[in-house]
């Protein structure tokens, strides 16, 4: 079943890329003709060479022997996760790659994630999305995904694991990471042939190139959907606690706005250069950073946020813009959250940002209900003890 899906997917990708190639070729011919004042057919590049170049961009199917060559027999291990191990490698032309070798036996969930990765990342090409060069699906057991190599690793390592590294990354660079990640999500939601919902936006799934260009990665939970589908059918909870939108865990309709919520939580962590939930941190008596920021913003004390994050005065305008965008993105009601195109415009200063409302008011309501229920239970308990 999985092999059949892969072959069908490759055929769809080739068809889509052939159409894209034709459109690009026509555009190149028209541009050349206009520049030189001659008919387009006289300035056309070699069609076969052009199409060969385009087809080389598609995800390739590699053999186990290819992977061993790329990785020098798996000599350089970069890390591991729940579904496999990642190795550093290189193509024969010197282009560096990251080879994610999946666990030998794929259960149903892992198979679904493999298909989602190939079926979504294999259809996209954007500067802010990690590129899937190809895959290996060998009946003998080797299953792997081959990505472009990202020199600076994942964003969570920069923010949380290497504090000395984080200190060397300037605020402007981190702001560029925010904007670039937003552009990648805008492409997935609004510019692809099919809308792609990622479902697991978090710092660990944003990779950084040598120049700190961010690229959204890990499409194992992603789904394709038609643009006219306003709601998605869910089969089990998705996402990572702390980043997943409320509707992914509650009986609420799910839309692509769940990615917007996760992006907002990611922005808070970049703003504070800390995890949103971090018990041992100088922000005293406050366990959850987003709510702490929201309270300071409401009180007109954003300077406290800047001071806690080590943000200098010259970066204050961008920091406040980030804060407002994050507060809009994490609104409880999905329809109150902006689109990713609006998020990009707000971050780039092309769209005015209205003052966001308190996105965590529902938590206060839940706390009140919880306190009332606890009080009632306590009274009932005392009453029963008196009866006895």
Domain residues of the chain, as ranges? Answer: 59-149, 155-365
Question: Residue 104 carries which DSSP code?
Answer: S
Q: How far apart (Å, rounded) are the C-alpha atoms in residues 303 and 317?
A: 11
The whole-number pLDDT of residue 78 equals 92
Copy the structure tokens of residue 159.
């923010």
100 carries a ligand binding annotation: yes
Q: How far apart (Å, rounded) are the C-alpha atoms in residues 227 and 145?
A: 28
Question: 43: which strand partners?
Answer: none
What positions carry a catalytic annotation? 200
The whole-number pLDDT of residue 285 equals 45
Copy the structure tokens of residue 259.
């990615």
Copy the structure tokens of residue 346.
């707000």
pLDDT along the chain (388 residues), means of 10: 57 52 48 46 52 63 95 93 86 95 73 83 89 87 91 92 67 96 96 90 96 94 70 62 90 90 97 84 66 94 92 92 98 96 97 95 66 47 40
The whole-number pLDDT of residue 227 equals 58
The whole-number pLDDT of residue 160 equals 87
Q: To 10 degrees, what angle do helices 340-347 and 171-186 make?
A: 150
Name the class of domain 59-149: alpha beta
pTM over 0.85: no
The whole-number pLDDT of residue 129 equals 96
Copy the structure tokens of residue 167.
């200190």
The whole-number pLDDT of residue 109 equals 74
Q: Give the count of beta carbons closer than 10 Å to the beta carbon of residue 275.
A: 16
Looking at CATH, the fold of the domain delimited by 155-365 is given as Transferase(Phosphotransferase); domain 1 (1.10.510)
Q: How far apart (Å, rounded) are the C-alpha atoms in residues 94 and 79?
A: 21
- For CA atoms 205, 88, 53, 224, give the dihedral sign: negative
The whole-number pLDDT of residue 28 equals 46
């Amino acid at each position: 079943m999985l092999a059949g899906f892969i072959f069908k997917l490759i055929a769809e990708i080739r068809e889509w890329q052939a159409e894209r190639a034709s459109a690009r070729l026509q555009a190149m011919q028209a541009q050349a003709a206009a520049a030189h004042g001659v008919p387009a057919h006289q300035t056309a590049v070699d069609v076969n060479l052009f199409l060969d170049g385009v087809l080389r961009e598609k995800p390739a199917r590699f053999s186990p022997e290819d992977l061993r060559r790329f990785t020098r027999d798996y000599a350089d291990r970069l890390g591991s996760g729940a579904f496999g191990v990642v190795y550093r490698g290189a193509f024969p032309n010197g282009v560096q790659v990251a080879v994610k070798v999946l666990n030998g036996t794929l259960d149903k969930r892992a198979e679904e994630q493999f298909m989602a990765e190939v079926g979504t990342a294999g259809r996209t090409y954007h500067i802010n999305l990690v590129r899937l060069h190809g895959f290996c699906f060998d009946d003998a057991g080797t299953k792997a995904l081959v990505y472009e190599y990202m020199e600076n690793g994942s964003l969570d390592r920069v923010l949380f694991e290497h504090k000395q590294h984080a200190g060397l990354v300037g605020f402007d660079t981190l702001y560029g990471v925010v904007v670039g990640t937003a552009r990648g999500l805008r492409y997935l939601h609004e510019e692809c042939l099919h809308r792609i919902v990622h479902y697991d936006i978090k710092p660990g799934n944003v990779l950084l190139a040598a120049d700190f260009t961010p690229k959204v990665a890990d499409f194992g939970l992603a789904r394709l959907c038609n643009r006219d589908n306003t709601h998605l059918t869910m089969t089990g909870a998705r996402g990572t606690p702390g980043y997943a939108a409320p509707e992914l865990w509650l009986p609420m309709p799910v839309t692509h706005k769940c990615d917007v919520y996760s992006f907002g939580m990611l922005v808070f962590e970049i703003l504070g250069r800390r995890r949103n939930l971090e018990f041992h941190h100088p922000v005293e008596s406050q366990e959850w950073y987003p709510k702490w920021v929201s309270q300071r913003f409401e009180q007109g004390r954003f300077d406290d946020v800047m001071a806690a994050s080590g943000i200098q005065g010259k970066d204050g305008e961008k920091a406040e813009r980030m804060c407002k965008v994050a507060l809009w993105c994490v609104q409880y009601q999905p329809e109150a959250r902006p689109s990713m195109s609006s998020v990009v415009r707000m971050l780039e200063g092309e769209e005015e940002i209205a003052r966001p409302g308190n996105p965590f008011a529902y938590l206060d309501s839940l706390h009140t209900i919880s306190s009332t229920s606890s009080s009632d239970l306590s009274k009932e308990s005392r009453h029963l003890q008196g009866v006895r």
